[in-house]
Amino acid sequence: MGCCYSSEDKPTEEEEEPLIQPNNIVSKSPNGTERNPPNVPTARTDEQALLTSILTKTAQNIIDVSAADQPMMEPHEYMDRARQYSTKLAVLGSSLPPKKALTLPSLTSQPHQVLSSDLVPYSDVQQGFFRLPCTFLFK
């Protein structure tokens, strides 16, 4: 049995010739031209060089945090840097506008005593003050 249009005739030389020639490794240079003929040691060297360049580029681009070498700071360096930052903060803090006071100043530590003490005498309200519908007194 054979494929379509096969015959029982002997195969011709052409038919027996393999499609891929075992020694015909076609290696192209980067610019697309075909080398002629390819030299195996040169190909391997080129491949090695290419791999090396890829490795080098990757190593340059990758940041390996775990392998980062943490520089150890001396205690006096810590202190110097802390002092530097404090000075900068102090300078910046003084140049900023003061924050609006949100908390009221405390007037007394005895609120119950102050609020339960005698009210302003009626005579004081009557005398020396304008008769307004509402009078404000500070004591």
Partner 1 sequence: MTTAALTAGLERIPDQLGYLVISSEDGVLASAGELENDEHTAGVMMQMVRTASRFRLSGSPDVPFKRLSVILDDFVYTVTVSGHKVFVVKRQHNQQEPVNV
Which residues bind to partner 1, rule: CB under 8 A? 102-112, 114-117, 119-120, 122-123, 125, 133-139
In whole angstroms, how close is the CB of 93 to partner 1 at the nearest point? Answer: 21
CA 125/CA 137 separation, integer angstroms = 9
Which neighbouring-strand residues pair with 28? 34
Nearer to partner 1, 73 or 119 (CB): 119
CA 106/CA 79 separation, integer angstroms = 38
Nearer to partner 1, 96 or 134 (CB): 134
In whole angstroms, how close is the CB of 133 to partner 1 at the nearest point? Answer: 8
In whole angstroms, how close is the CB of 126 to partner 1 at the nearest point? Answer: 8
In whole angstroms, how close is the CB of 99 to partner 1 at the nearest point? Answer: 14
In whole angstroms, how close is the CB of 94 to partner 1 at the nearest point? Answer: 20
DSSP-assigned states of every residue in 35-64: PSS--HHHHHHHHHHHHHHHHHHHHHH---
Q: Please return the burial class of 95, using the count of CB atoms within 10 Å of its CB with bins 0-12, 13-18 and 19+.
A: exposed
CA 57/CA 50 separation, integer angstroms = 11
CB 135 within 8 A of CB 125: yes
Nearer to partner 1, 12 or 108 (CB): 108
Nearer to partner 1, 5 or 138 (CB): 138
Nearer to partner 1, 63 or 101 (CB): 101
